[in-house]
Amino acid sequence: MEFAELIKTPRVDGVVLHRPFMPTVEGTLCLTGHHLILSSRQDTTEELWLLHANIDSTEKRFVGSLGTIIVKCKDLRVIQLDIPGMEECLNIASSIEALSTLDSVSLMYPFFYRPLFEVIEDGWQSFVPEESFKDLESMTDEWRLSEVNKDFSLCPSYPSLLTVPKDIDDESLCKAASFRHGGRFPVLSYYHKKNAMVMMRAAQPLTGTNGRRCKEDEKLINATLCAGKRGYIIDTRTIAVAQQAKARGGGFEQEANYPQWRRIHKAIERSNVLQDSLIKLVEACNDQSHSMDRWLSKLEASNWQSNVKEILTTACLAAQCIDREGASVLVHGTEGTDSTLQVTSLAQIILDPACRTIRGFEALIEREWLQAGHPFQQRCAQSAYSNGKPRSEAPVFLLFLDCVWQILRQFPCSFQFNENLLIMLFEHAYASQFGTFLGNCVAERGKLQLSQKTVSLWSWVNRPQELERFLNPLYEPNNLVIWPSVAPQSLLLWEGVFLRWNRSTKCLDEAYQEMVHIIEYNKELQNKVNSLRRQLAQLETEDSPLQTP
């Protein structure tokens, strides 16, 4: 298909762009296959380059022959375009509509994007399972890398290589897979070096109403326990939800069959509830006429902050079981692709200082989200302004990022990266020139040949020029476990995302610059002093033989 067919009017002059907290811009609007561009042809004003994929929904209004299109973006920005001429406006509106809702992945921008920078390190190769297994091998020999899912037939949403207990053979894995939703049998998520405890993740067991059991599944997870020690199963669903799942063939681990495990149920919400929560939150944030009472009640009613609290609490629980109780943990919900990953990845940020570095955090996202089979394409198809019928959209990843931000805010010196990295990941998960977040699992990405046909986000982020923007000037490596507070008063609204377009950030940006300045000045002084000290020491050693009587 040619994009040209979808573009009814490629260009309109005299279009006025309105953005909150920014001066209006008048210029020429151009539509290309992947972008909406507004150019004023003046050097001083900024141009607008908007990816069609970033457009969540549009509205049009007419006053006489002047048409107005309100464009609501997945990054939560809302812009207004005043377009002279009714026909032009209708054409532009329908073109945007068509271009922003392309069905075929292979028509997406990442397949057309050519980087203007030289790819020094190919991000597609930056985080391969073999490498992380090598790290594991240096700490323990209890685990092996299994190729049982080589052709993705055992579990379509898992990667081809999986870390499993050494004593469990592939045959047992196949049986365990048939006992777990979507074939997602328990695999290693994290190894806690300090006390050799582990965190595993899986999907729900398919016990059904008649209490089916699977010896291999039991053996598999028991293999991670030390003699005489009990482990914890953290089910991210309430007991009621887990009970209901039985009727649909799912279920949870029965005490009788898993006597060495203690099961704890938590209450992390499911995808459609989360999507609704996001829509309500953004609605509340965008209405500036709200009185204080109305704002607080809308914020409360959105339940967003409750969701953040629940996810963080569960992650803290998992981390606590491992670090404080010295027990191994298995985490699952229903499919094991959403709340499970929120919990396992956040627990690692709490426990493992490596995850708080930029590289380590990227590796975490690669391992626990992309390779673990979080269905990014489905979940991020629409954002807070979706007005159509919800399919499988849900801000699962955004909630994870929000939780990371909460921890980062409470431990501002313990992360190598800053808030900008989190916001950037949010943007790119929803619309990007890079292929990283396309597809729903490793198998799909392979079929799409993303690593050959698109550029990886990491290839761009890890360039020194880009990295600088994401570095936290306050970072002091902290090798401890960090326990965030989950008290409601400690959890704040993530203004960097949700109020980003609703206020001027000039003063806050200035404060950040000031902070950078103070720290850089300190480093500069340190360098000078060190060099002088060295000179001094040198002079002293040269002088001293002469001075000795």
Partner 1 sequence: MEHIRTPKVENVRMTDRLTPRKSTVGTLYLSSTHTIFVENSEARKEIWVLHSLVYNVERLPTNPSGSPLIIRCKNFLVYRLLIPQEKDCLDVLASLTRLSRPERYGELFCFSFNPNLDKELREKAWGFIDLKAEFNRMGIPSNLWHVTAANHEYRLCDTYPSELFVPKSASPAVIVGSAKFRSRGRLPILSYFHRDTSASICRSSQPLSGFSARSSDDEQMLQAIMKSNPVSELMYVVDTRPKLNAMANRAAGKGYEIEDHYTNTKLQFIGIENIHVMRNSQQKLIDVGELVAPSMSDFLWGLENSGWLKHIKAVLDAGIFIAKAVAEDGVSVLVHCSDGWDRTAQACSVASVLLDPYYRTIKGLMVLIEKDWVSFGHKFSHRYAHLDGDPKEVSPVMDQFLECVWQLMQQFPCAFEFNERFLIQLHTHIYSCQYGNFIGNCQKERRDLRLQERTHSLWPHLWENRAEYTNPLYRTDHSQTQGVLKPLTTAYCFKFWKGMYGRAEKSVASHQSPADCLNVVREESQQLEEELSTHQEVPRETDAGQETCPTEGEENFRGEEDQQAV
CA 466 to chain centre: 19
List the one residue out of 368, 357, 394, 423 whose CA is nearest residue 75: 423
Angle at 206 between CA 204 and CA 212, to 5 degrees: 135
Q: Which is nearer to partner 1, 104 or 479 (CB)?
A: 479
Task: Choose the stretch contacting partner 1; rule: CB under 8 A; options: 70-78, 189-197, 268-276, 411-419.
Answer: 411-419
Q: Catalogue the E-assigned strands of 303-424.
A: 329-332
Sort 482 into a burial class: Cβ within 10 Å, 0-12 / 13-18 / 19+. middle
Tell the smallest beta-carbon distance from residue 466 to partner 1 (Å): 21
CA 307 to chain centre: 16
Among 270, 474, 481, 500, binds partner 1 (CB under 8 A): 474
Strand ranges across the sheet with 78-84: 48-51, 35-39, 22-31, 11-19, 78-84, 66-73, 55-63
Other CB atoms within a 10 A radius of the CB of residue 510 amount to: 10
Task: Choose the stretch contacting partner 1; rule: CB under 8 A; options: 83-91, 231-239, 451-459, 514-522.
Answer: 514-522
Among 240, 296, 387, 447, binds partner 1 (CB under 8 A): 296
Does 535 bind partner 1 (CB under 8 A)? Our answer is: yes
Does 61 bind partner 1 (CB under 8 A)? Our answer is: no
The values of phi and psi at residue 149, to 5°, are -105, 30
Task: Choose the stretch contacting partner 1; rule: CB under 8 A; options: 36-44, 94-102, 202-210, 291-299.
Answer: 291-299
What is the distance between the alpha carbons of residues 493 and 509, in angstroms, rounded to a whole number?
A: 18
DSSP-derived letter for residue 468 is H
Does 530 bind partner 1 (CB under 8 A)? Our answer is: yes
Task: Choose the stretch contacting partner 1; rule: CB under 8 A; options: 86-94, 168-176, 282-290, 329-337.
Answer: 282-290
The values of phi and psi at residue 531, to 5°, are -65, -40
Q: Give the contacts of 64 (CB within 8 A, at least 6 positions apart).
A: none
Does 285 bind partner 1 (CB under 8 A)? Our answer is: yes
Q: Which is nearer to partner 1, 36 or 299 (CB)?
A: 299
Among 295, 420, 427, 481, binds partner 1 (CB under 8 A): 295
Does 306 bind partner 1 (CB under 8 A)? Our answer is: yes
Does 87 bind partner 1 (CB under 8 A)? Our answer is: no
Burial profile 286-300: b = 16 or more Cβ within 10 angstroms, e = fewer? beeeeeeeeeeebbe
Tell the smallest beta-carbon distance from residue 504 to partner 1 (Å): 8
Q: Which is nearer to partner 1, 248 or 534 (CB)?
A: 534
What is the distance between the alpha carbons of residues 316 and 484, in angstroms, rounded to a whole number?
A: 8
Does 526 bind partner 1 (CB under 8 A)? Our answer is: yes
Query: How big is the site for partner 1, counted in residues (CB under 8 A)?
Result: 63
For the chain, the residue count is 549
Burial profile 448-458: b = 16 or more Cβ within 10 angstroms, e = fewer? bebbeebbbbb
Binding mask 171-190 for partner 1 (x = CB under 8 A): --------------------
Does 292 bind partner 1 (CB under 8 A)? Our answer is: yes
Return the SS3 of 148: coil
Tell the smallest beta-carbon distance from residue 44 to partner 1 (Å): 20
Q: Which is nearer to partner 1, 174 or 515 (CB)?
A: 515
Among 288, 452, 465, 541, binds partner 1 (CB under 8 A): 288
Bridge-based pairing of strands 197-201 and 187-192 is: antiparallel
Does 387 bind partner 1 (CB under 8 A)? Our answer is: no
Sort 495 into a burial class: Cβ within 10 Å, 0-12 / 13-18 / 19+. middle
Tell the smallest beta-carbon distance from residue 537 to partner 1 (Å): 11
Does 521 bind partner 1 (CB under 8 A)? Our answer is: yes
Does 539 bind partner 1 (CB under 8 A)? Our answer is: yes
Does 273 bind partner 1 (CB under 8 A)? Our answer is: no
Task: Choose the stretch contacting partner 1; rule: CB under 8 A; options: 93-101, 246-254, 330-338, 515-523.
Answer: 515-523
Q: Catalogue the E-assigned strands of 52-109.
A: 55-63, 66-73, 78-84
Does 491 bind partner 1 (CB under 8 A)? Our answer is: yes
What is the distance between the alpha carbons of residues 141 and 212, in angstroms, rounded to a whole number?
A: 32
Q: Residue 127 is encoded by which pair of tokens? A: 């985080």
Task: Choose the stretch contacting partner 1; rule: CB under 8 A; options: 51-59, 97-105, 364-372, 404-412.
Answer: 404-412
Does 101 bind partner 1 (CB under 8 A)? Our answer is: no
Does 480 bind partner 1 (CB under 8 A)? Our answer is: no
- Interactions with partner 1, residue window 309-328 (CB under 8 A): 309
Does 546 bind partner 1 (CB under 8 A)? Our answer is: no
Tell me which residues touch partner 1 (CB under 8 A): 285, 288, 290-297, 299-300, 303, 305-306, 308-309, 410-414, 474, 476-477, 482, 484-485, 487-493, 495, 499, 502-504, 507-508, 510-511, 514-515, 518-519, 521-522, 525-536, 539
